[in-house]
Structures are given as structure tokens and as C-alpha cells.
Amino acid sequence: MLNVWNWLEDHIGAILSVLFSGAFFPIIAWISNLRKQRREKRSAKGINSQHKQEQKVLAVEEIANQRLQEQRRETCLRLLTSIRELVQIVAEYRQAHDNLWVRQGIFFNSRQHVKKINAQFQSIHNKLALAGSELSIDPNGKGVMDAFVAYMQAQNRYIQEIMKPMKRPLTFPFGKTDIAVLDALSKKADEQLSVLEKVVQDFIQSS
């Protein structure tokens, strides 16, 4: 028992001597630094965990964005394909307007011509209906729809002037619209198509 008390007394004395000698303060600093290192390690682990979670979220968002862009690309492809088909029809009628022999050929084969044109317009209508439906539910689709409507209005004015002399029995064989007027309307339609294509590109890339 005496040895135990002596041992304890010696250690208490040593501790007191450390306290009063000033050597205790470096020990406190060491302990404090150790705690700080532990806190930093825990913080670093938390930051790493948060960073990994953020990376996962970004990866998921990137995949979703790629899928959205692909869907928009398909929608706009249908839209632009239908426009190209329409442009081909308009080009045929412009040729019939400018070339009276071509016009006569349409007249003498009107039944086959109407059948072909109806099939082409049905294909165009189907593509536009699907594209319009998809654009209507996309939050960013309105800009494309507005640009498309502007283009169709310009194209319609051009078509109306092409068809004007060919819709009347008296002017069908030889009547023509002023070529300068047609060229100006054609240019306006092309300009609106360029605007639409730019809007489509921005739409596909938007998030």
C-alpha cells in the first residue's frame, strides 16, 4: 500500500511540477493541435463525400441533358425534313410558273399530279403534327414554334403569288406573276428559314 501511495505521490508531484514549470502549455498546444487535425480529417471526409455526391448528381444531370438534346434533335429533324419536302413542292410549282411547257404537262396529267401532291402533303402533315406536339410540351419549344410560323407565313405569301395566275382558267395557259416579286418573296422565305435553323440549333443546345 505504501508503495502505491509513493507511486501516486511521485506522479502527482511530477504533474504539479509540469504545471508550475510552464511545460504544460506545450502539451496543451499539442493536444489542441491533435484535436484540430482530427476535425480537419473529419471535415475532409465530409467534403469528399459531398463532392462525390455532387459528381453523381452532375453525371445524372449530364445523362438527362444528353437524352433531352437527342429528343429535341429528333423533333427538329422531323420539322426540318417536312420543310425540305415542302420546299421541293414549291420549287416544282415555281418551275411550272416559269416554264409554260411544264405547266401544260401538269394540266394534262392533273389526276396523277394531284395524287402525288396529296401523298407528299400527307407525309408533311404527319411529321409536322408529331413535331408540333413534342414542341408544345417542351418548355423551350415556343421559340421554335414562333420561328416556324413566321417561316410558313413567308412561304405562304410566296406560294400564293406563284399560284395566282395558275388558279384562273383565263390566265392558266400563259399568265405569270412578276418575276421580281416572286424572287423577293422567295428571298424573304429563305431568310426566315435561316432564322428558324438558328433557333433550332439554340433550342437543341438549351437546358
Q: Is residue 45 part of a domain?
A: no
- Any idea what the CATH number is for the domain that residue 178 is in? 1.20.120
Q: Is residue 131 part of a domain?
A: yes
Q: Which positions ≥6 away from 153 have C-beta within 8 Å?
A: 192
Q: Is residue 93 part of a domain?
A: yes
Task: Report yes or no: 173 and 166 within 8 Å, Cβ to Cβ.
Answer: no
Q: Is residue 2 part of a domain?
A: no
Q: Which positions ≥6 away from 165 have C-beta within 8 Å?
A: 97, 171, 172, 175, 176, 177
Q: Is residue 167 part of a domain?
A: yes
Q: Is residue 3 part of a domain?
A: no
- pTM (2 decimals)? 0.69
pLDDT at 49: 61
**CA of 102: how far to CAs of 49, 73, 167, 173, 195, in Å?**
73, 37, 15, 11, 32
pLDDT at 30: 55
Q: Is residue 12 part of a domain?
A: no
pLDDT at 3: 46
pLDDT at 98: 93
Q: Is residue 149 part of a domain?
A: yes
Tell me how far apart the alpha carbons of residues 135 and 145 are, in angstroms, rounded to a whole number.
7
Report, as ranges of residue numbers, the positions in the chain whose pLDDT lies below 50: 1-16, 18-20, 22-25
Any idea what DSSP says for residue 167? S
pLDDT at 109: 85
Domain tally for the chain?
A: 1
pLDDT at 150: 95
Q: Which domain holds residue 109?
A: 68-205
